[in-house]
Chains A and B, each alone.
Chain A
Amino acid sequence: MTERDTLIRLLPLVGAEPEILNDERIAHVVGHGHRIVSRRSVPGLDLDLEETPDAIVGRMTVRAGIRLEQPVHLCFGLAHPTGRQNIRLDLAVEEQAAVSVLSHCLFPVAQAAQHRMRATVHLGPGASLIYSEGHYHGPHGGMQVVPQASITVGQGARYRSDFSLLSGSVGELTIDYAVEVEEDGVAELTAKLFGHGTDRITLKEAVVLKGRRSRGLIKTRVVLADEARAEITGVTEAHERGARGHVDCLEIVQGRAQASAIPIVRVCHPEAKVTHEAAIGSVDKKGLETLMARGLAPEQAIELIVSGILR
């Protein structure tokens, strides 16, 4: 089986069907290590990617006014226990353009490998981007996964990201996202993480509401089992009149796991407002007892609550 086939075979694990890569209406990029093993563009989307010895580098642009009906699939990963993958991507969604990007990161047998993604994202005025990133890792841990992104959301634009790591053991995961939002722009960042084994998860998301009436939401759901640890930092700054931000962090700790949450809120205008809520602890006792009062055994009730939080 080729490396391409190995990655494609795993797509259902992150909610995608392999057939999408044969569909001419759907743009995609499949990268193994620093090689691009498959790609397709569609009208209105410029895909300018190249292989270098130490990275996949390039630019993806959705041209002004283009609203892509089908999501763009980015499939990156490694089919071997060891290796490195660096990706440097500039993503531009021009004025009044709209696109949904589904990024599938697949590391089924990785044990001592590295995946780094450094992205700059720019949304022009009135543009829309939904960026969903799903990770699949095997049981071994031992990886270093470092996604970094710098995002600017233009006037009246909407940016929504959804990062999920729901199965397997990653090793070290260090996410660092920074978003600046212009007037009437909206940024919503959601992360759902399930840490196992000795995973070490560091998540930092910062939303700077620079424009009037800009909006920001950081929502984080983390479940930690075994001896996993997580440190979650959500930063929201509001600098202009009518800016509104909210940080919402919930962490469930099981076994010997440890979690911390650091919400940082800065408001620099009297007519701006930022709120935050954070809760860390075991599974909610009342919720657990409610489900048990409907006949669920304790382990069934915990599983349902945890899967609901990460759904």
Chain B
Amino acid sequence: MASPLLSITNLTFSVEGRTVLDRLDLVIHPCEIHALLGANGSGKTTLASLLMGCEGYRPTAGTVVFAGTDLLTLPIHERAKLGLTLAWQEPARFEGITVREYLMLGRAESDPALMLRLVGLDPDRYLDRLVDKTLSGGERHRIELASVLAMKPKLAILDEPAAGIDMLSIHQIIAVIRTLKAEGSAVLLITHQEEVATISDAASQLCNGRIVCTGSPALVIERFRGRACVRCDGEVCGYDRT
């Protein structure tokens, strides 16, 4: 197997005396879709923010190596230039910036119309619209995915990419994630929707800030369905996700 694209070792993050991520280990390989399942509050979005280098998210301990580089010393934009990006669960809105401009930010030579078609949006209707509050939540989500596609990252962290998307359109989101992989990107797919997680190559379950199970998507989804989190080695962590 190729050497890992992302190696997270013993990553710990505490805030105000509370441990949010607890000695977390995770490995993602190139072109791998890795689903991260976990209940609300388990630490999924914290992990995403920490990997991207967002303000206020500095680890207490641990290392993160991405494409052979120590990621934790870099600011956000330098992480992005290395090929890492994040699509937020609730993407930001921008006054005065058109969808066309937004989709060309990460890579000037990208084709914004093609990116929109790939996420199921009509370029004629959307290219000149603004990325502002006039977009619905679902539209904004799709445009966020299109901007990630346009960037052609080595690793895309997608935080609940199907949130706000109607059930009938989830297959389009799944197709976009597959397109990312086909284009050479790895994906850290943060989700609580089992249907979305099934497309992954590998999966992990996060519980109380710890990876409690890593394996095939089928195995991890099965364990995630249970009321209590059970580690792959049989240990029950005692956290009731309901």
Contacts and interface: CB of A to CB of B under 8 A. Distances in A.
Interface string A270-302: 000000000000001111011111111110010
A197 to B, nearest CB: 24
B80 to A, nearest CB: 4
B171 interface: no
B77 A309 contact: no
A49 B104 CA distance: 49
Given A293-B52, A296-B105, A284 B92 contact: yes
A304 B91 contact: no
A295 B97 contact: no
A260 interface: no
A290 B88 contact: yes
Contacts of A47: none
Most buried by A among B77, B81, B147: B77
B151 interface: yes
B93 interface: yes
Contacts of B106: 294-295
Contacts, number: 59
A74 interface: no
A250 B96 CA distance: 13
Contacts of A297: 77
B97 A308 contact: yes
Contacts of A301: 77
B114 interface: no
Contact of A287 (B55, B77, B81, B94): B94
Contact of A295 (B54, B55, B81, B96): B81
B80 A295 contact: yes
Contacts of A305: 94
B151 A294 contact: yes
A292 B86 CA distance: 10
B75 interface: yes
Contact size range, A = 20 to 34
Contacts of B86: 293
B94 A292 contact: no
Contacts of B94: 287, 305, 308
Nearest to B87: A293
Contacts of B80: 292-295
Contacts of A294: 80, 85, 105-106, 147, 151
Interface in A36-68: none
B95 A289 contact: no
A310 interface: yes
Nearest to A308: B96
Contacts of A309: 95-96
Given A289-B92, A294-B80, 14 more contacts: A287-B92, A289-B52, A290-B91, A293-B77, A294-B147, A295-B81, A296-B77, A297-B77, A298-B75, A298-B77, A301-B77, A307-B96, A311-B95, A311-B96
19 contacts: A221-B95, A287-B94, A289-B52, A289-B92, A290-B88, A290-B91, A291-B105, A294-B85, A294-B106, A294-B147, A295-B77, A296-B105, A301-B77, A305-B94, A307-B96, A308-B96, A309-B95, A309-B96, A311-B95
Q: Closest 9 A-B residue pairs measured CB to CB? A: A308-B96, A311-B96, A292-B76, A294-B106, A287-B92, A295-B80, A294-B105, A292-B77, A308-B97
Interface of A: 221, 250, 284-287, 289-298, 301, 304-305, 307-311
